[in-house]
Amino acid sequence: MARRANKPILIEASSGSVFADLGLPDAAELETKTRLVVKINRLIAAQRLNRVAAAARLEVSQPVISALRAYRLDGFSIGQLTRFVLAVEPRR
């Protein structure tokens, strides 16, 4: 087995946002969208909605649900994602 050199490993503390750490110009927006999609996906899973039922609840096509599950955020606004959260939240 090859021996590793004892080179120091540089570790940089995170800013708290992976998007900001990557230097993306729209880091705050991406962070917000990601948090909303995480919430949407968790609510869909908690209610055991399949793709067809989730699409009906959100009034979108099934490919939109697939995009949300894959965290493909392009084409979604924060307002639209917020409406999705409200549509899939259990009624009180």
Look up the CATH number of the domain holding residue 75: 1.10.260.40
Q: Would 78 be classed as within a structural domain?
A: yes
Q: Would 11 be classed as within a structural domain?
A: no
Q: Would 71 be classed as within a structural domain?
A: yes
Q: Would 39 be classed as within a structural domain?
A: yes
Across the chain, mean pLDDT equals 92
CA distance 16 to 3: 34
Question: What pLDDT band is residue 58 in, cutting at 50, 70 and 90?
Answer: very high
Q: Would 18 be classed as within a structural domain?
A: no
Whether the pLDDT of residue 17 is over 90: the answer is: no
Which structural domain range is residue 66 located in? Answer: 26-88
Specify the DSSP class assigned to residue 61.
-
Do 47 and 90 touch, CB atoms closer than 8 A? yes
Mean pLDDT on 17-41: 93
Number of domains in the chain: 1
Q: Would 2 be classed as within a structural domain?
A: no
Residue range 71-90, pLDDT digits in tens: 999 999 999 999 999 999 98
